[in-house]
Amino acid sequence: MERMTPPAVDRVAASRAAVAARRARAAVKHAVATRERNAGDVLDAAWADPAARAEASLRVRELLLSVPSLGPTRVAKTMAELRIADSKRVGGLGLRQRHRLREWLAERENQPAATRPSRLVVLAGPTAVGKGTVSTYIRENHPDVHLSVSATTRAPRPGEVHGVNYFFLRDDEFDRLVAEDEMLEWATVHNAFRYGTPRQPVEEALAAGRSVLLEIDLQGARQVRRAMPEAVLVFLLPPTWDELVRRLIGRGTEGPAEQQRRLATARVELAAQDEFDYRVVNGDVSQAASEVVDLMGSRPSDPSPTLG
């Protein structure tokens, strides 16, 4: 009788092989995202070395998405320009497609750092919209982006680390940085503590050709606009007002009176969205983060991809 399914041992072996292959592809993407390898070398390996199965079986779209500063909008545009279908794997590309993709990457990689767009992007938005979650996602998934670490006079919350989440300073230390013009911007937030962006790390990262992300409040965003008009201001929006209320109440870090005060502030903050260059809706964190990363690599004349 004809056997319809392979014996159990074969199926186990096949699923193990599939898991191993997925892991190998993830390792290639990680190496590209952290600049250990560049995407051009991955292509060369896939096409020249029959043992490079992970490289060959990687989808072109995924390879491009792992390139630092390439987000989904630009990848989709590039794939269309290069006439490569979304589902194509590196090893399955035709000769002409290979040539176009290789050329495009070489052109990108050969750009000297100084001429690559390195941008200062400010991410602001109403309380509880999820700015922190989006910027943490960017820190973990886009190591090429320099995420500014702010200084604050508030005390650390459990689990927060000095130099990672914030530089936790005493009042007199904060005063000194302000007096010495070491703050790019600073503000008193929620009528309570002071928060500010140390100037030097931002300037150094920009000079090194890296894009820099500041996650700050509205007052700070306005100061950056004045001090550095070339900065790109991104406003993070909740999908709906009700969702913002749900997020604020759901996180349970504020009591009822403070929640009401913050919601009132959020209404005022939402009214400021027209001052911003771009609006990104934070429905799905990874999607919102990708849109922000896309904006870091786009030219100033690019139209807004996500006007809400």
Residues that bind ligand 5GP (CB under 6 A): 131, 150, 154, 185, 187, 189, 195-197, 215-217, 219-220
- Taking the C-alpha atoms of residue 130 and residue 280, their distance in angstroms, rounded to an integer, is 12
The residue (of 220 and 238) whose beta carbon lies closer to ligand 5GP is 220
The residue (of 185 and 294) whose beta carbon lies closer to ligand 5GP is 185
Candidates 61, 214, 34; CA nearest to 142 is 34
State the nearest-atom distance from the C-beta of 121 to ligand 5GP, in Å: 14
State the nearest-atom distance from the C-beta of 259 to ligand 5GP, in Å: 14
Q: In what order do the strands lie in the sheet with 151-152?
A: 167-168, 151-152, 193-198, 183-189
Tell how far CA 96 is from the center of its chain.
32
Candidates 200, 198, 201; CA nearest to 183 is 198
State the nearest-atom distance from the C-beta of 75 to ligand 5GP, in Å: 29
The residue (of 55 and 215) whose beta carbon lies closer to ligand 5GP is 215
The residue (of 75 and 244) whose beta carbon lies closer to ligand 5GP is 244
**Judging by DSSP bridges, how do beta strands 212-215 and 120-124 pair with one another?**
parallel
State the nearest-atom distance from the C-beta of 235 to ligand 5GP, in Å: 12
The residue (of 63 and 145) whose beta carbon lies closer to ligand 5GP is 145
Candidates 307, 281, 260; CA nearest to 130 is 281
Q: 54: helix, coil or strand? A: helix
Q: What's the length of the chain?
A: 308
The residue (of 98 and 154) whose beta carbon lies closer to ligand 5GP is 154
State the nearest-atom distance from the C-beta of 160 to ligand 5GP, in Å: 8
Residue 301 in tokens: 């004349």
- Taking the C-alpha atoms of residue 7 and residue 14, their distance in angstroms, rounded to an integer, is 11
Give me the residue whose beta carbon is nearest to ligand 5GP: 220
State the nearest-atom distance from the C-beta of 263 to ligand 5GP, in Å: 14
Residue 207 in tokens: 């000079």
Residue 17 in tokens: 């092989």
Candidates 22, 36, 108; CA nearest to 69 is 108
- Taking the C-alpha atoms of residue 95 and residue 76, their distance in angstroms, rounded to an integer, is 21
State the nearest-atom distance from the C-beta of 290 to ligand 5GP, in Å: 20
The residue (of 65 and 134) whose beta carbon lies closer to ligand 5GP is 134
